[in-house]
Structure 1
Amino acid sequence: MQKTEGEDRFSLLTDDILLSILGRVNITTAARTSVLSKRWKHLPWLLQELTIEAKDFLPGPLSCSAEAQHIDAAMALLTKAIRSFLATHQRFSSLQLKLKLYLVDNYSDTIGPLLSEAIGVGTVKDSDLSILGEKESENCNDEDMLQQASSVDGFFRAYTGVLDCLTRLSLYNVFFSERDMNHILFDCCKQLQHLYLSNCDTGGLAAWKIHAPDSNLITLELDMCFLGKLEVLHLPKLERLRWDGWMCPNAPLSFGVVPCLKELYLLCGAAVYFKGFKLSEVLRDIRLRDLTLSFQGEKLWLQPEGKQLCPAFSNLRKLSLLDIYLEFDLLWTLVFLEAAPSVEIFDVEIWEHPCAMTPEARGRTFGERTKPDWKMYEFSNGKEWLLKEVQITGFSPMDQQMTFIRAVMQRASNLRTLVLKDHAPCGECEEIGALPRSERLPAAELFPKDKEGQDMVVKQLIRNMADCHVDIIFGI
């Protein structure tokens, strides 16, 4: 196509390419392009995937108190944008809608009918809905969470059609009764595949029991949801479960019928009263492919095991053990590899963050750090490891880490790649004036950033190893 005088190169692109570009910017930017020229005027209204977020209409990052003053104005603009885009529904074919909004004032009474009509006529074929909290989770009290629950419940009851095409739902700061939670999330949202809950619970550390044999849910994510226990009794299509920040006094999970579960992520800052649990008991009859355990440095919150883990780990391909305290021995992690000889990728992340809390507060909350007492020599599976790649984040050439790495290299004959990475800088540690790692560790135990130091580490690791074929990479 020949470029005419005064025509920009972007305008020469075909509609599908321009729409692909517009799909990567927020809705306000996409809408503004319609005034560039006649060539662009119709394009924003041809988007097949539409994302409208209330925060795009806020005047920038705001404090909790200041943001409340702008939420009303943001929702007014969001409502106007939804009305404008959905009013041209005859130009759409099977729109995928991603919507993030606040349920404040009477805006839901305008948005609800607009969405219901668009869903009814087939304009919207599936939707991703996020109902945001007006406050950050740490600033919410029970009254705030009850009010949010009332707003969510009222919106869904008034506009039941909105639930019919929900494939993804995110809720923030909601206090449900167990019955109401299950009714909305599983009885009404029949197409729901991805559920994200942040600071949502059933009150009083009560257990949340999920029995939804007809559910299409594939992914369940919980972020700082303080439940007494999560009992997944029946979710036939669940593949991924992530619980970030559980604080249960006992084992956080139990499973019933979850034949498709393949990925599990657990993060816990275990308090002083927590005695740990046996992972094999939680994973009874489960065959995972991807397991991530994040300890936040304080405790391992797992009771020592060995061969009991073999059934649950028989299909494991990737294992990640994150946020292990810097001074903890790492040899105990070999128990996991011995129980999971099929693991091909093994990630270890070392934890050291003075910013987490003061030593006094940490002692009151978590008690004394106790080094792992898992005994590697008490358990051997006798099977060949399939391990191909190991990555250690927060590496330093201290004796216990070097001993651990050499033990892995000697045992894993299939190992081909070893990635050693430094700690990522922590802005919060710097903000409180915590001493940088370089001032807390001897120079000989710092991450080697120059070639001479890296060559020395490699030499130490492969010492007395004949025919070592491991590619040792130093990352950032």
Structure 2
Amino acid sequence: MIMQDAGSMDHKQKREKANKEEDCEDLINQLPDGIPVAILSKLPINDAARTSILSRKWRYLWTFFSGTLEFDGSPIMKDMKKDIKKASGRHLQMAMEIMYDAERQTYTSWINELLSSLKSSTLQGLKFWFHVGTECDTDKWVHFAIQKKVQKLELYFGHSFEYVLPLHLFKVESFNSLHVLRLKFITVTKEMLEYLLCCCPLLETLSLVSSVVPKTIKVSGPSLKLKCLELVRCWELVKLEIFAENLVSFKYYGSHLDTEFKIVPSLMEATFGGSFVEFIKESFLPQIKVLKLDITQNVPEVIYWLSQLPRLKSLKHLELIACVDDGITLCACALLLKVSPSLWRFTLKMLNTKPNFRTERKFTMECQYSLKELELVGFCGAACEIELVMYILENAVELQKITIDTRLPTKPKLRPLGEHFKTWDHEENRKRARGLQEKIPPWIEFVCI
């Protein structure tokens, strides 16, 4: 009798579960046309494909995916890459590299099958960001992006894969949907660049990193909508001319560059790094609201250049990447603060390659600032860090907040980190930060991370 009751209960539960599944399927099938595809397009493609099991109606819906596809290597490839670096012995490394190549071929084959399955007429974004093999047909992927009228295209096929962006593919059909183009280790010819600036009317962001570019770049066009331009480690570049009324953000990392910013009325944010220090001559600096400088490559001539800076009357946020073991860091901070009368926030990211805990000394340059917030990233309690805080406390009478970030600072692009970073003592740095807190007036908010 008990067994019969148990059997009937089990049957009842199964029936209730089946009814719920049917109700769920009916509810899914009742969604208006277009809603399911819109939902799927918000998901990663793997998750979108898994929805094929929800109902008969949803079995092939994922093939109409129109969101963003990102291919940055399979998880197995990433793990194998780490293992290859750790492997001891050349024979073991060679064997692991063969296995890696096999996994890479499997991954690229999966990409090709996936792309051929998609039936949507457009895609929001497409990103290929991994080391491809020599047998890979990358032109096919770029052509696919053009056909699908992607709005955001990001290409990086590895630093050892020589790839020239194919102008002939772009000319096959109009590519007027492109908003964002990011390229790394890609060759861009003069003709290709002119096409992008003249024939992609919606292009707002152009980022070229470690790419081969023409010696002279002229950024202009009658209908140019470009808002963000990034040129990082493009060593062939010698001269840059810009006529861009809509340009809001400009970033340059590299060596000496002959620049002419003819028309940039909207430019509000600028980033400079590498060995280029003549940025102080740019006529647009007084209108800049956000300025980011990496001076780790500019020792010692940077002090001379900073002393020539014009008055940065509009600057609200200043971010400086420097080395606390360089004697120029404190002087650089003082010079920048002196010419920034409207500065609201100052962020200093420090690379403590050899932190110095010498006796503190005072600044000789004094001036009152309107600074409200101070942020120190990569804090380790070195003498010059304490000196900077004390100097700002004395001269920034409107200071409201100090943030001390004791975590490992962001890795710079052009400077080796050194052995010191392998022994970064987070807890010890936090103790030094709490010691600094005792010197901060109670009306100033103190945050330690």
TM class, shorter-length: 0.7 to 0.9
Q: Which amino acid aligns with 1:184?
A: Y
Distance 1:433 1:353, change over 3 A: closer
Question: For 1:213 and 1:422, how far apart are their aligned partners in 2?
Answer: 48
State the number of aligned residues: 399
8 Å CA contact 1:310–1:340 kept in 2: the answer is: no
* Residue 261 in structure 1 maps to residue 267 in structure 2: yes
TM-score (norm 1): 0.69
The one-letter amino acid paired with 1:263 is: E
Partners of 1:325 and 1:350 lie apart in 2 by: 6
Cα displacement string for residues 211-249 of structure 1 (whole angstroms, at most 9, x for unaligned residues): 3343111112233321343513212211112234x1x1x
Instruction: Give the aligned partner of residue 132 of structure 1.
Output: 156
Partner Cα distance (2:438, 2:279) in 1 = 37
1:238–1:260 Cα contact (<8 Å) kept: yes
1:244-276 CA-to-partner distances (Å, cap 9, x unmatched) read 4x1x1x3564422111111111221x3xxxxx6
Q: Which residue of 2 aligns with 1:361?
A: none
**CA 1:352–1:40 in structure 2 vs 1: closer, same or farther (change >3 Å)?**
farther
TM-score using structure 2 length = 0.73
- Does the aligned pair in 1 maintain the 2:294–2:321 contact within 8 Å? yes
Matched, 1:474 2:424: no
Distance 1:448 1:297, change over 3 A: farther
Match of 2:360 in 1: none
1:447 matched to 2:426: no
Q: 1:191 aligns with which of 188, 202, 213?
A: 202
Q: Structure 2 counterpart of 1:26, which letter?
A: P
The superposition leaves residues 141-164 of structure 1 with CA deviations (integer Å, 9 ceiling, x where unpaired) of: xxx2xxx11x5233223x332x22
Deviation larger for 10-19 or 329-338: 10-19
Query: 2:433 & 2:277 partners in 1: Cα distance?
Result: 39
Higher alpha-carbon Rg: 2
Asked if structure 1 preserves the Cα contact closer than 8 Å seen for 2:324 and 2:384, the reply is no
Return the letter of the residue paired with 2:448: F
Question: In structure 2, what is the equivalent of residue 362 of structure 1?
Answer: none
Superposed CA deviations along residues 422-441 of structure 1, whole A, max 9, x for unmatched, are 141899999969762559xx
Deviation by residue 1:279-301 (Cα, 9 ceiling, x = unmatched) = 43124565111111113367265
Give the partner amino acid of 1:474: C
- For 2:229 and 2:50, the matched residues in 1 are separated by 36
1:384-430 CA-partner distances (Å, limit 9, x unpaired): 63311110012233332222211111211221110112141899999
Q: Equivalent residue of 2:315, what SS?
A: coil
| Aligned partner of 1:421 among 405, 413, 419 | 405
Q: Is 1:154 the counterpart of 2:168 in the alignment?
A: yes
Match of 1:309 in 2: 309
Asked whether the equivalents of residues 306 and 332 of structure 2 are also in contact (C-alpha less than 8 Å), the reply is: no
Moved more, 386-395 or 102-111: 102-111
RMSD across aligned positions (CA) = 4.2
Q: Distance in 2 between matches of 1:314 and 1:24?
A: 43
1:52 partner amino acid = L
Partner of 2:124: helix, strand, or coil? strand
Aligned AA (2:444): V
Q: Whole-Å Cα distance in 2 between the matches of residues 153 and 397 of structure 1? A: 53
Alpha-carbon distance between aligned partners in 2 of 1:432 and 1:173, rounded to the nearest angstrom: 28
For structure 2, list consecutive stretches of 5 or more residues without a partner in the other structure.
1-15, 85-96, 355-362
Contact 2:272–2:279 (8 Å) recurs in 1: no
Partners in 1 of 2:37 and 2:364 — Cα distance? 57
CA 1:154/1:251 → structure 2, altered by over 3 Å: closer, same or farther? Answer: closer
Contact 2:227 2:246 in 1 (8 A): yes
Q: Residues 340 and 429 (structure 1 numbering): CA distance in 2 closer, same or farther, change over 3 Å?
A: closer
Q: Which residue pairs with 1:51 in the alignment?
A: 68
Give secondary structure in 2 for the equivalent of 1:309.
coil
Distance 1:128 1:83 in 2: 20
Does structure 1 conserve the Cα–Cα contact (< 8 Å) formed by 2:42 and 2:67?
no
1:60 has 2:77 as partner: yes
Check the 8 A contact 2:184/2:209 in 1, yes or no.
yes
Distance 1:435 1:197, change over 3 A: closer
After alignment, is 214-223 or 21-30 more displaced? 21-30
Aligned twin of 2:341: 341
How far is 1:340 from its partner? 0.9
Q: 2:435 aligns with which of 452, 456, 460?
A: 456
Unaligned runs of 5+ in 1: 119-123, 271-275, 355-374, 463-467
1:405 partner amino acid: V
Residue of 173, 187, 205 corresponding to 2:185: 173
